[in-house]
Structure 1
Amino acid sequence: MRVKVEKIRGGSHPSEVLVSVKTTQGEERLVVHPRSLREGDTLEIGYPINQESSNYLVELPRETISGSWRVWVPAELVS
């Protein structure tokens, strides 16, 4: 499964890129390897851990800048 992200800028290392994920609580940012992005705007995730209404609890492949591994995202951002 994949979640839609937005590329913010390159990371501090050439093999990094900073992306943002829109969550139900706002935006979360994380640093990932550029090859983990497909079509430049989706990031691979595992199967959603939980569903509540039209939101999914997903685990990201890397820890966010704020320290989260799991975030609630709107279901329309997951494919």
Structure 2
Amino acid sequence: MAQIAVEHVEDGLHPNEVVVTIRTAENQTEEVAVDRRLVENNRLRASEVGSQHERVLVELPRETLSGS
């Protein structure tokens, strides 16, 4: 299980949900709404899919709000 640094956390639409902002390898920001139990100490738990050249590909718990 990978842990991704979270830049910002805010309440989501449901009491058990938060919206987090993460930074991609291309230095872009993405927002994703997740269960608040997946975020601890400004880290989001995600599944590691693979890695190459010091970059890690992860599968987020849900699709980002931008859809990418």
Report the TM range for the smaller structure's normalisation: 0.7 to 0.9
4+ aligned runs moved over 2 Å, structure 1? none
Query: What is the root-mean-square deviation of aligned Cα atoms in Å?
Result: 1.5
Seq. identity, %: 38
Counting strand residues as a fraction of each chain, which structure ranks higher?
2
Shift of 1:62: 1.1
Q: For 1:48-63, what aligned pairs fall within 5 Å after superposition?
A: 48-51=49-52, 53-63=53-63
How many equivalent pairs are there? Answer: 66
Please state whether the residue corresponding to 1:47 is helix, strand or coil: strand
Alignment of 1:11-26 (within 5 A): 11-25=12-26, 26=28
Q: TM-score, normalised by structure 2?
A: 0.79
* Counterpart for residue 42 of structure 1: 43
Any stretches of 5+ residues in structure 1 without a counterpart?
69-79
TM-score relative to the length of structure 1 = 0.70
